[in-house]
Structure 1
Amino acid sequence: MKSENEDAVTQHNKRNQFENKIDSTQVMKAIRLHKFGGAEVLQYEEAPLPGLKPGEVLIRVHAVGINPPDWYLRDGYKMLPPEWRPPVPLPVIPGSDVSGVVEAIAGDVQGFSVGDEVFGMIRFPSFGESAAYAEYVTAPASDLAHKPAGINHVHAAAAPMAGLTAWQFLLELGHDVQNPLQPEMHRPVPLKGKRVLVNGAAGGVGHLAVQLAKWKGAYVIAVASGKHESFLRELGADEFIDYKKTPPEDVVHDVDLVLDTLGGPTTGRFLRTLKRGGALFPVFLGFSDAEEAAKLGVTVSMTQVRSNGPQLAEFGHLLDAGTVRVAIDSTFPLADAQKAHERAARGHIQGKIVLTVV
């Protein structure tokens, strides 16, 4: 058995070997955009290898989960008012969700070693010089968790943003950053014994929210298109509503909580489904019925998902145990990121879309 000193020497040598290697190559393959627009602006090309900074880990990426913020960035955040659009220096690599293997660590990093399999949502909601659609990415160690041994890189890459969104909305916020759009901090509500409706239940956030709510003892009503019914019942949904046949607000009443993963300007219709004292959690912007909500005694609250390695580790334990599973809609090679975004644009996604990196 190696001593701790021998292990430290091995890690140091591995780190030096990698640094020597990147000195001679300097580039990697990545998806970058040089202008904003549709899927066609995603270019597979050589890009500089990211440099390792204090507190960071360098990851050899095996898989990348794609998420709505990826296409919001791609089109220049057109969905936001102009004054809310963050400056984006071009060219830029999109993406936040990765699973891969640690290639190097900064000297001040604890808890990770070269060769560890890790997954994480990196730097979200901000972004930096290094992002996910690439062969290598640097990440703050605080954004990472060890990949669950019981799942592969594709499923691990699919989990972080969707899983943390469901977790932070439903179970534990995990940060103290104030949402400027509401006076109160977002507060999850107790779920045990409660009636919870999940709209958009087959999507990335939705199908994980269904499972987390069931895990916490809720009675779950899933809303999606009819083709997803068997999928959602397998995940534990107690009731299913095909929104194409029946508007859920016409048939559901006295719900304690609605998680509307679609959000937007139509989310106010779910006020009709809630009991007095209930809560409506829209995942995306657009709710404009605050006066009606107040009359009905309904709390409307949302939050911005944020990177959180410790929460992701907790979620990873559920994935490892099979308590929660991540569904994969489809996979595409990194070079085919355009096709992956085109698939996302067609909608009706069951689970998550993932890019694979060879």
Structure 2
Amino acid sequence: MKRVSIHDYGGPEQLVYEDAAAPVAGPGQLLVKVAASSVNPVDWKIRSGATRAMMDFPMPLVLGGDIAGTVVAVGEGVSGWAVGEEVFALIGLVGAYAEYVAVNAAIVARKPVGLSFEAAAALPLVALTAWQALAEDGRELKGKHVLVHNASGGVGTMAVQLAKAAGARVTASASAKNAALVRGLGADLVVDFRASPVDVVAKDVDILLDCVGNSAAFALWPLVRAGGSMIRLGGGADDAKPAEAAGVRILKIRVRPDAAQLREIAALVEAGKLRPVVGEVLPLAEVAKAHVASQGGHVLGKIVLKM
């Protein structure tokens, strides 16, 4: 099979398109013939070595967490699955840039009916991140004011739609060129953060979802009313004491695979309440180009890799 791996940490030139033996389905696993994967910022952060202090991997390392494809073998002890079923999954943070993947059957869900493999591959990590981030607050979203900061990226596009589907009033920040897309996803108000400071327009926020993760984004916490929450997907150890003293909870999440949540996400897709946003589809062999684009920080939605 073909795969993309790195043999050392570094720049995009470390990505190697190579031949490798296909895995087999072990006990409790499904063997999936992968039709598409996608690129997430964590991929190039791992590749560069930026996350090495928190998680170091043996080499060679196959990157990628999202897969969409077809079951070609069912491992011992697995029930409820059959060869030929179309699936999608977040398999973790690594292992997905390959034509075949052996994956724990418990974290796999059936692909949304009618959705292409490329579109399905754009969903798992970003949809689960948005889902888990909004759920982390623990409150009913109906009637609440949710601000999604950086709403045109992978997680942001999902968060806008999920919050809206739950009955929230959604304010979103996005550049002028992406405002129409974000509005079309359900945002009630879109703030062009380059032309208008977010803190001038957005007020009395119940939940602020920070998809940026820098200190400037963290400085938006005063927009959140007392008793509300700021949920961070990244960023450093900014001083949260002033926010907490003002009655604002600061939460930080790390996405985890969850088949049950993927099934609910699939149901929303099939009901027309959630759609993936695919900015570009590239062949797996051009993954370095995808990493450069993702690292540049201006990707609309997701870059998908086609096997």
- TM-score, normalization: structure 1? 0.83
Paired residues, number:
307
- Report the counterpart of residue 153 of structure 2 in structure 1: 203
Paired with 1:46 and 1:114, the residues of 2 have a C-alpha distance of 24
Counterpart in the other structure of 1:101: 70
Q: Which amino acid aligns with 1:91?
A: P
Conserved 8 A contact 1:265-1:287:
no
Q: Tell me how far apart the structure 2 counterparts of residues 67 and 327 of structure 1 sit (CA, whole Å).
A: 13
Query: Alignment partner of 2:113: what SS?
Result: coil
Following superposition, the deviation at residue 335 of structure 1 comes to: 0.8
Q: Distance in 1 between matches of 2:106 and 2:212?
A: 29
CA distance in 1, matches of 2:218, 2:290: 31
Cα separation, partners in 2 of 1:66 and 1:88, compared to 1, 3 Å: same
Q: Secondary structure at the match of 1:206?
A: helix
Structure number with the bigger relative contact order (C-alpha 8 A, sep ≥ 6) is 2
CA contact (8 A) 2:147 2:205 kept: yes
Of 289, 293, 299, 1:343 maps to: 293
Do the aligned residues in 1 keep the contact of 2:122 with 2:278 (CA within 8 Å)?
yes
Tell me if the contact between 1:331 and 1:340 (Cα under 8 Å) persists in the aligned partners: no
Please name the residue that 1:143 is paired with: 107
Q: What secondary structure does 1:304 align onto?
A: coil
Matches for 1:245-260 after TM superposition, within 5 Å: 245-260=195-210
Spell out, residue by residue over 1:246-282, the C-alpha distance to the aligned partner (whole angstroms, 9 max, x if none).
Answer: 1202332211110011123333211121111111001
Structure 1 residues 65-84: aligned runs within 5 Å: 65-76=38-49, 78-79=50-51, 82=53, 84=54
Identify the residue that residue 40 of structure 1 maps to in structure 2: 13
Name the amino acid aligned to 1:107.
Answer: E
SS at structure 2 position matched to 1:288: coil
Partner residue in 1 for 2:141: 191
Deviation per CA, 1:216-254: give whole Å up to 9, x if none: 111100101111111011111100101111120233221
Separation (CA, whole Å) in 2 of partners of 1:288 and 1:342: 28
Percent identity among equivalent residues? Answer: 41
CA distance in 1, matches of 2:271, 2:101: 28
CA contact (8 A) 1:262 1:284 kept: yes
Verify the 8 A CA contact 1:249 1:269 in the aligned structure 2. Answer: no
Aligned partners of 2:259, 2:209: CA distance in 1, in Å? 24
In terms of Rg, which structure is larger? 1
SS of residue matched to 1:350: coil
Q: Is the 8 A contact 1:94 1:133 kept in 2?
A: yes
Return the alpha-carbon distance in structure 2 between the equivalents of residues 169 and 260 of structure 1: 10
Pairwise CA distance, 1:287: 4.6
Change (3 A) 1:111 1:285: farther
Counterparts of 1:94 and 1:324 in 2: how far apart (Å)?
27
Q: Partners of 1:287 and 1:167 in 2: how far apart? A: 23
1:112 matched to 2:81: yes
- Structure 2 residue runs without a partner (length 5+): none
- Equivalent residue number for residue 237 of structure 1: 187
SS of residue matched to 1:132: coil
Q: Is the 8 A contact 2:26 2:76 kept in 1?
A: no
CA–CA distance in 1 between the matches of 2:179 and 2:270? 25
CA contact (8 A) 2:44 2:295 kept: no
Q: 1:335 to 1:58 in 2, by over 3 A?
A: same
Q: Which runs of 5+ in 1 are unaligned?
A: 1-27, 172-185
- Alignment counterpart, residue 156 of structure 1, candidates 100, 120, 129: 120
Cα distance in 2 between the residues matched to 1:87 and 1:263: 22
What code does the residue aligned with 1:104 have? A
- Residues 215-234 of structure 1 aligned to structure 2 (within 5 Å): 215-234=165-184
Letter of the aligned partner of 1:35 in structure 2? D
Counting only pairs closer than 5 Å after superposition, residues 168-179 of structure 1 correspond to structure 2 as 168-171=132-135
Determine whether 1:309 maps to 2:282. no
**Inter-partner Cα distance in structure 1 for 2:298 and 2:267:** 28
CA contact under 8 A between 1:264 and 1:287: conserved in structure 2? Answer: no
CA–CA separation in structure 1 for the residues paired with 2:215 and 2:221:
13
Structure number with higher strand proportion: 2
Is the partner of 1:301 in helix, strand or coil? strand
